[in-house]
Structure 1
C-alpha cells in the first residue's frame, strides 16, 4: 500500500492523499499497522507500572507520520472506526504480556473521536472483557494537540469513561495550547510531562523548576506524574529527586514490537535506583511508624454501606476508597455524608440498595504519595493548602495508609531530632557519625566504580584571622552550596567532616566524570570566593598576614584542594579509616600541585597507585574511564 519515490537507491515513503483513500484501502492499512510497547517505570523501585502503545509501520502503510494516520482517518470520516480497530489490535496484544492484569495500558486517545457521527460508547469495555482484562487496565492519554473544549459533551464522555473504571492522562503536558485548561477540564489521574522539559533538565535550572512546580501541583490535585523522554541516568535521577512518580524513555527501554519476557521490573534501572537511594527511602521507615492504617473500602461499595461504616467507626472522619487493584481512587468525608442524610429523603436515597450512582457524588480526589517520598516533599504539599484532609500513602501504587497533619508533624520532628545528632551544626550536612555510617554500608558492597573525595581549604587561617570567624563560616557555607550544585548531576553523598574539611562519595560513574565534577566545584569556589575579599586584596591577588610561625608573609587567595581515591571494585574489607590515611597523603600532593588536585587507586592499607593526570587520560589511553585492573 506504500507509495514511494525512488531516488538513486533510496526509497522514501510518501503520504497517501486523503481524497485517494477509499473503504477498500483501510483493511490493507490495518493489516500493515503494528504497535510497539514502551515501559513506564516507578522512579522509586524501577518496577514496571505499565506500557504505552506506540503506532508502528505507518511509513510502510504509506503515511508521513503517526499523526498523518489519524488526520487522514479524520478527513475521510472513518476515525472512530479505524481507532476502534487499532484499540482491538493493541488490547489483544497487551493481553499477551506476562502479568498483563497487573499492568496499565496507555493508549493515545484522539479527542476528535467523540465528534464523529458513528461514535458509540461502551465498545472499549467490550474489547477489554473479551481479552480477559478489566476496564481499569487502560489509561487514555489525551493530548493537547487538539482543543478538547471544542469536543461536544467531552466532559460527559470523560465522566462516562471514569465510571467504567478507565484512567485518564494528559499527554505531552506543556507542548500544546490547552495547558492549565486541560488540567481543569479533565481532572487527570496522570500528567505526562513533555520530553522538551525533561531533555537536559539536570543541566537546565529553569526546566528543573518548571517540572518541580508541575509535579508539586499534580500531587496537590491527586494526580501522578510521568516524565517522558528520559535518555540519561542524570535525567532519571533528577526526575526522582524532584518527585516524579514514573518515567519512560530510551534510557529505560526503547519501544519494541516484540513482547518482553519479563514485565515486573527493568533490572538495569532497578540496579541504578538501588545504588542511588535518596533521603525519601530513609524517611519511609518513619512514615510507616506514624501513618494511620485506616481501613479502605472498595469502589464497588454501596452508599448505604458507607453510612454503616461511619456509624460503626465514629472516630473516622474520612474513608479511603480503592479499586480492585488496591489503587486509591479518592476519599469519602464523614461530613459530606452527614450533610446529605439530613436533607429531605437523603437517608432514604442512601439506604436504597439499588442506588449506587450516588457514591460518585461523595468521592473526593485526594493527594497521594509513595511511602518513599521524602518528608520535605510531603510537608511542602501540606503547607500549600489549608483544607487538606490528609495524604494517601502508597507502595508500588497500592494503598498503604493515611497521613494527616498531626502524624506528618510528628514524623518531621522525629526526623529532625535524629538528623540533629548526625549533622554538622553549621552546614547541616551529615557529620562524622553519619559519614562513617554511610561509608560502612557503601564500602561493604562491591561496585564496579567507586570514588571517595576529600576537600580541604587552602589559606583558610589567614582569611579567618583577617576577616573574622563569621566571614570564615560564610566561606564554608559557600562551598557547601557549591558542592550541592557541582555534584548534583549524580547521586553524590556529601558530608562535612568539620572546619574546612569535606567528604564526598559517588559510585557507578566514570573516572573522567568524577574528576570533572570535582574540578567544577574547585573552579566555582575559586571564582566566587573572590567577592569575600576587600577590593585591594582582590586587586593584589594575595593577602598580607602572619603565618603559623608568626612571620609576616603573603598568602594567595583561598582555594580548595581535592584528593580523589578510587576504591577497587572487588574489595569489601576497606574502611573509611583506610581511605582517610591514603587521602592525607594525596591531599599533601594536591596542596603542592598547580591545580590543587591529586588522585590515586587504593591498593592496600599502606600504599596507593596514582592515577594518570587528567590531561593524559584521553580516549586513546583509557577509553570510557577504564583503567588497568578495573571494570567499567
Structure 2
C-alpha cells in the first residue's frame, strides 16, 4: 500500500499524431512504478495489484498522477487515460471525482479521453456500461475504444458505445506494408469509423513503410515508436524529422490526387476572411464580430501562418458581463484566442476533414476551422459547409451509380477522365470486359450472371489503391479502372490471375473439368463455350496526350478488343504514342 499511499508512481506520455498535418492530437498517459524497483514495469505493477485486490485503488492513483503531471508539463491536446471498464461500475469512481481532479490541476476535463481497455469481458453488461458513460459525455469527456481486434468482443462494444476514437491494435498495423490481409482489415475498419462518426488511431507504428500505407489509406491518427516513444519528459512539439516525413508523404499523395479534385474541393467552399494579428486589440475584434452577424470566427495570423482562432460565441459571451469589456478590451487578442485550432490543408479530402472535425468533439460542429495551403493561411470554413458538400457529393454519386455494383457510372467516369487530362496527370486507362459472358448468362441464369459481375467489381476494387485509382462500371460486363499506381501492370496481371481462381467456383464441376460448357455462340451455333475469362485493354496516357474522354474511349475499346483476341484471361497494353505490344 505504500506505493499507493505515497503515490510513488511516474507518468510517461506518448504522442498521438495527426497523420495528415503532423500536429499532435494529444498524448496517451502511461504509468510506471517506483524507479529501480521490480514494480517499475507497469505489467508487474498491475499484476501485483490484481493479486492483492488493489486494481481499482491503483487505477484511481494512476488518474491523479497522470493528470497532475500532464498539466504540470503543459502538454498540448487531449490526454488519453487507460480505464478498466470495472471503474464505471464502482462507487469509488464517478465523473464528479474525475472533474474535481482536473479542476485541482487547472486542467479542462473536456481534454480528457477515457480509453476503455478490454482485457476481459465487460462484467456489468453493455447497456449498463453505456448508461454509466452518459455523465462523462455530458461533462465533455470523450471516449475511446482501445485495442480493436484484440479484445473479447470489441466490435459489439464499438457498436454499443459509439466512441469518439477507435484504436486499432498494433497487430494489424505492424508489417501492414507486407501483409495484404492486414491492409484489407485496416481499410474495412477505416470505412466503418468514417460511417460511425468515430476517428481511427493506428497503434504501434514503427517503420516508414507502415506509416506510408496508413497515410495512403486515409487513417487520421497514429501512435508508435516511429512517431514518438513514451517519455517522462515528453516534448510538446513534433520531432522535426518525423514531421518532415509525414509532410513529405502527404505531398506525394496529394500530387497523385491532383487529377481527382472535384467541385466539392475544400478550397472552393472556404471563405476568405481578413485575419487579425496577435497584437490586435480585443475591442477591435469585438467590433468586427458585432458589425458582421455572419462572421463566426477570426483567424489570428503571424507572418502568414495561423497561430490561433477567435470564436464568435466565446468572445461575445466573454464581453457580455459587467466590466468585462473594460477588463479585456485593451488586451491583445492573442490572450483570448484558441491556441490549438483545427487547421486543414486546402487539398484535404472531405471525408478526412469530416473525421478531423468529429475528432475535435461536439463543440467543433458550431465553430470554424482554418484552411491553409502549404502552411500559409488561405481562409476559414465551417463543419456545416463540409457536411453540406459531402451530402451533395454523395447524392451525386448515388444518382449515377450502377445499381448492381454501386460503382460510378458513365457520367462520373467521363468527368474523372476529363479532370485527369485537365490537370496534366499521367494515368493508365484499363478497360476490363468479360469473355463469353452472354453464353454463361444464358446457361446459368441472370442471377449467376449478376454474381460474376459483382465478383469482377469487387476484384477490381481489391487490386486498386483507394487513394490513387478510380474504378467505374460502364454497364453490363464492362468496367473501367483509371490507375495512377506505379505498379499498375502488376495489379492488372494480379486481377487476371485472381479472376481465374475465383470464377471457377461459379461453374459446375463437370464444366470445370472439360474447360467449358455447351452453348450458343455469336453465329447461333451450338458449341463448346470456354469458361468465362477476363480481358483488360490498358492505355498508357502520358501528360498532355489527349484532350477529352472522347479521344480515349475509342482507343481503349480497340485495345480491349486486342486483348479479347487472346484465348483466356489476357492483358493488352498500348502507349498512346506507340504501337501495341
Fold-level similarity (TM above 0.5) = yes
The answer (yes or no) to whether the contact 1:286–1:415 under 8 Å persists in 2 is no
Matched, 1:273 2:229: no
Deviations along 1:8-53, whole A, 9 cap, x unmatched?
xxxxxxxxx998xx99xx9xx99xx9x998783533x6x4658979
The answer (yes or no) to whether the contact 2:366–2:382 under 8 Å persists in 1 is no
Q: State the Cα distance separating 1:194 from its structure 2 match.
A: 2.8
Counterpart position of 1:113: 65
Matched, 1:247 2:222: yes
Counterpart position of 1:124: 73
The answer (yes or no) to whether the contact 2:26–2:77 under 8 Å persists in 1 is no
Structural mapping, 1:609-620, within 5 Å = none
Which region of structure 1 is more displaced relative to structure 2, 298-307 or 204-213? 298-307
Which of residues 102, 109, 120 in structure 2 aligns to 1:158?
A: 102
The answer (yes or no) to whether the contact 2:310–2:337 under 8 Å persists in 1 is no
Separation in 2 of the partners of 1:261 and 1:113?
29
Structural mapping, 1:567-578, within 5 Å = none
Counterpart position of 1:93: none
The answer (yes or no) to whether the contact 2:270–2:381 under 8 Å persists in 1 is yes
Matched, 1:555 2:529: yes
Q: State the Cα distance separating 1:459 from its structure 2 match.
A: 0.9
Separation in 1 of the partners of 2:206 and 2:537?
31
The answer (yes or no) to whether the contact 2:459–2:499 under 8 Å persists in 1 is yes
TM-score w.r.t. the length of structure 1 is: 0.54
Separation in 1 of the partners of 2:80 and 2:354?
31
Separation in 2 of the partners of 1:354 and 1:390?
22
Matched, 1:194 2:167: yes
Matched, 1:141 2:79: yes
1:323–1:52 Cα change, 3 Å: farther
- Partner SS for 1:519: helix
Q: State the Cα distance separating 1:203 from its structure 2 match.
A: 3.8
Counterpart position of 1:493: 470
Separation in 1 of the partners of 2:212 and 2:116?
20
Structural mapping, 1:17-56, within 5 Å = 40-43=17-20, 47=22, 49=24
1:491–1:114 Cα change, 3 Å: closer
Separation in 2 of the partners of 1:142 and 1:284?
37
TM-score w.r.t. the length of structure 2 is: 0.58
- Partner SS for 2:432: strand
The answer (yes or no) to whether the contact 1:497–1:503 under 8 Å persists in 2 is yes
1:388–1:366 Cα change, 3 Å: farther
Deviations along 1:283-322, whole A, 9 cap, x unmatched?
4863322334457789999998776444322344x44687
Separation in 1 of the partners of 2:102 and 2:277?
21
Q: State the Cα distance separating 1:375 from its structure 2 match.
A: 4.5
The answer (yes or no) to whether the contact 1:195–1:230 under 8 Å persists in 2 is no
Q: State the Cα distance separating 1:402 from its structure 2 match.
A: 2.5
The answer (yes or no) to whether the contact 1:459–1:556 under 8 Å persists in 2 is yes
Counterpart position of 1:170: 113
Deviations along 1:144-189, whole A, 9 cap, x unmatched?
146594698431443576768x994638665578996776656359
Matched, 1:455 2:432: yes
Separation in 2 of the partners of 1:211 and 1:414?
20
The answer (yes or no) to whether the contact 2:17–2:26 under 8 Å persists in 1 is yes
The answer (yes or no) to whether the contact 1:38–1:254 under 8 Å persists in 2 is yes
Separation in 2 of the partners of 1:323 and 1:213?
36
Q: State the Cα distance separating 1:549 from its structure 2 match.
A: 1.7
Separation in 1 of the partners of 2:341 and 2:228?
33
Q: CA RMSD in A?
A: 6.7
- Partner SS for 1:507: coil
Who wins on radius of gyration, i.e. which is larger?
1
Deviations along 1:103-145, whole A, 9 cap, x unmatched?
xxxxxx9523179xxx6997435xxxxxxxxxxx634533214
Counterpart position of 1:507: 485
Separation in 2 of the partners of 1:212 and 1:601?
35
Separation in 1 of the partners of 2:477 and 2:81?
52
Matched, 1:431 2:413: yes
Separation in 1 of the partners of 2:191 and 2:138?
19
Matched, 1:291 2:270: yes
Counterpart position of 2:456: 479
Counterpart position of 1:313: 292
Separation in 2 of the partners of 1:388 and 1:50?
17
Separation in 2 of the partners of 1:189 and 1:299?
34
Q: State the Cα distance separating 1:196 from its structure 2 match.
A: 0.8
The answer (yes or no) to whether the contact 2:515–2:530 under 8 Å persists in 1 is yes
The answer (yes or no) to whether the contact 1:297–1:321 under 8 Å persists in 2 is yes
Q: State the Cα distance separating 1:457 from its structure 2 match.
A: 0.3
1:161–1:405 Cα change, 3 Å: same
1:213–1:304 Cα change, 3 Å: farther
Counterpart position of 2:147: none
Deviations along 1:341-365, whole A, 9 cap, x unmatched?
9xxxx65264452699xxx9999x9
Counterpart position of 1:227: 202
The answer (yes or no) to whether the contact 2:452–2:503 under 8 Å persists in 1 is no
- Partner SS for 2:113: strand
Separation in 2 of the partners of 1:351 and 1:214?
44
Separation in 1 of the partners of 2:112 and 2:70?
19
Deviations along 1:598-630, whole A, 9 cap, x unmatched?
57797982364xxxxxxxxxxxxxxxxxxxxxx
The answer (yes or no) to whether the contact 1:295–1:319 under 8 Å persists in 2 is no
Matched, 1:67 2:42: yes
1:168–1:256 Cα change, 3 Å: closer
1:65–1:184 Cα change, 3 Å: farther
Counterpart position of 2:497: 519
- Partner SS for 2:80: strand
Deviations along 1:431-483, whole A, 9 cap, x unmatched?
356346537968749xxxxx775422011233566799999678645533442
Which region of structure 1 is more displaced relative to structure 2, 549-558 or 485-494? 485-494
Q: State the Cα distance separating 1:544 from its structure 2 match.
A: 4.8
Contiguous gaps of at least 5 residues in structure 2 = 51-60, 123-128, 145-163, 547-551
Q: State the Cα distance separating 1:522 from its structure 2 match.
A: 5.1
- Partner SS for 2:479: strand
- Partner SS for 2:204: coil
Contiguous gaps of at least 5 residues in structure 1 = 1-16, 76-108, 126-136, 446-450, 609-632
